[in-house]
Amino acid sequence: MRVSALILTSLLAVVAAAPAMADRIKDIASVAGVRDNQLVGYGLVVGLDGTGDRAPFTNQTFSNMMAQFGITIPEGVDPRLRNVAAVSIHATLPAFARPGQAIDVTVSSLGNAGSLRGGSLLLAPLKGADGNVYAVAQGNLLVGGFGAQGADGSSITVNVPSAGRIPSGAIVEREVRSGFNEGDFLTFNLHRADFTTAMRMAEAINDMLGPGSAYALDAGSVRVTAPRDSNQRVTFLSVLENIEVQQGEGRAKVIVNSRTGTIVIGQHVRITPVAITHGNLTVTIDNTLQVAQPEPFTDGETAVVPDTEIAIEEEENRMFLFGPTITLEDVVAAVNEVGASPSDLMAILEAMKQAGALNAELIVI
């Protein structure tokens, strides 16, 4: 299917008049096949100020590198490197990256190097999951952390000095085929799968292009008929990704982070009639050491005798009632009135879920 310039121009005019208070397709979905790829590599950082590592694989890597330049280090000889560190290198290869373009890389120490500050990464290949080399990295590191150590062993470290970045430190050598220009369709994958959102996206595209131009494959994907010509396909996609779609509202959820005490209650959480009381029992044990002296002119010895006092205190928390069709605002108001702490609220929400009074999905992370 080919889309003429006249149709694309009219589509752009319709997009400009799209209603507000909605999300663009480019913000809620991605095009299938247009994706980043992870790269990883191994190399040496040199030029360190005595903060290199002492790992055996660093010496082995250094010996192999020197052999490539015609210098042989005898077996069993420790070069005693102090300004060299073995590092891992990782980077993200963006979609449509072409050979010759530069990408940023992150370098992290693999051994016990004290700092990579001031070091330079030597030429290192970066490989993809298929084992092919897609970029080569080299350059001077930017390290945000630093450390200092005194003669008495005291030390201080700010941030992380064993990792750094090289902006534009890798050159792309091989491109990844995306399949963007292949076939008669484009598929949008939703960042958050939702049947309502997928249906609304297909309807919005059909309203612009005509019935049958787009259809939802499932809750996470929408397929659109697209032109084969690469230039027209780019223009066509630039129009589609700016269409605004009203996302479907998510399911009612209560998220509880047991490590930080963070609780997030969704908008559609509802509570059926339930009565709740939650009290805290506090037990305090206070140990005081008393000194017992022997009687005069006796063979007794001075002894330390513990004096223990135990106190139990129970809060008088009143029972409170949640009525039907309680909204998020009502829940927040009730919790603030009772004065429940995050840990108390976690226990209350869990008990309500077990009692069937909490009409929401309770997720503990």
Calculate Rg over the CA atoms of the chain.
33
Same domain, 211 and 323: no
**27 and 62 inside one domain:** no
* pLDDT of res. 15: 43
The overall average pLDDT reported for the chain is: 79
Q: Looking at 154, 172, 190, which one is the last position of a domain? A: 172
**Residue 41 DSSP SS3:** strand
My answer on whether 224 and 303 are in the same domain is no
- Tell me what pLDDT residue 62 has: 86
Residue 135, φ and ψ in degrees, nearest 5: -160, 160
Q: Which of 254-263, 279-288, 321-330, 338-347 has the highest mean pLDDT?
A: 254-263
Kindly state whether residues 274 and 351 are assigned to the same domain. Answer: yes
The answer to whether residues 193 and 236 belong to one domain is yes
Same domain, 59 and 146: yes
pLDDT tens per residue, range 228-274: 888 898 999 999 999 999 988 888 888 888 777 777 877 777 777 77
The DSSP letter of residue 191 is: S
Torsion of CA 240, 241, 244, 248, to 10 degrees: 110
- DSSP-assigned beta bridge partners for residue 40: 90, 127
Of 52 and 87, which is predicted with more confidence? 87
Percentage of the residues of the chain whose pLDDT score is greater than 90: 33
Are residues 206 and 265 part of one domain? no
Query: Does residue 111 share a domain with residue 72?
Result: yes
Give percent above pLDDT 70 in the chain.
72
pLDDT confidence of residue 89: 96
What 3 state SS string does 164-190 have? Answer: EEEEEEEEECCCCCCCCCCCCEEEEEE
| For residue 73, pLDDT beyond 60 | yes
Give the CATH number, domain containing residue 189. 3.90.1150
Q: Among 172, 205, 223, where does a domain finish?
A: 172
Span 57-81, average pLDDT: 81
Considering its fold, how many domains does the chain have in total? 3
Note the pLDDT of residue 359: 78
* pLDDT for 285: 47
Do 88 and 110 meet the contact criterion of CB atoms below 8 Å apart?
yes
Do 50 and 135 lie in one domain? The reply is yes
For residues 101 and 191, state if they share a domain.
Answer: no
Domain end position, chosen among 123, 151, 172:
172
Higher pLDDT, 296 or 49: 49
Please state which of the ranges 35-44, 172-181, 275-284, 292-301 shows the lowest mean pLDDT. Answer: 275-284
With a cut of 60, say whether residue 17 has pLDDT above it: no
State which residues form the domain around 195: 5-34+179-245
Average pLDDT over residues 89-116: 92
Q: How far apart are CA 5 and CA 232, in angstroms?
A: 8
Looking at the fold, whether 70 and 103 belong to one and the same domain comes out as yes
Overall average pLDDT of the 194-223 stretch:
92
d(CA 331, CA 267): 11
Least trusted range by pLDDT, from 41-45, 54-58, 144-148 = 144-148
Write the Ramachandran bin of 45: left for phi over 0, alpha for psi from -120 to 50, otherwise beta: beta
pLDDT surpasses 90 at 153: no
- pTM as predicted: 0.68
Residues 82 and 120 in one domain: yes
Res. 350: pLDDT tops 60:
yes
* Cα–Cα nearest to 328, from 266, 286, 235, 275: 266
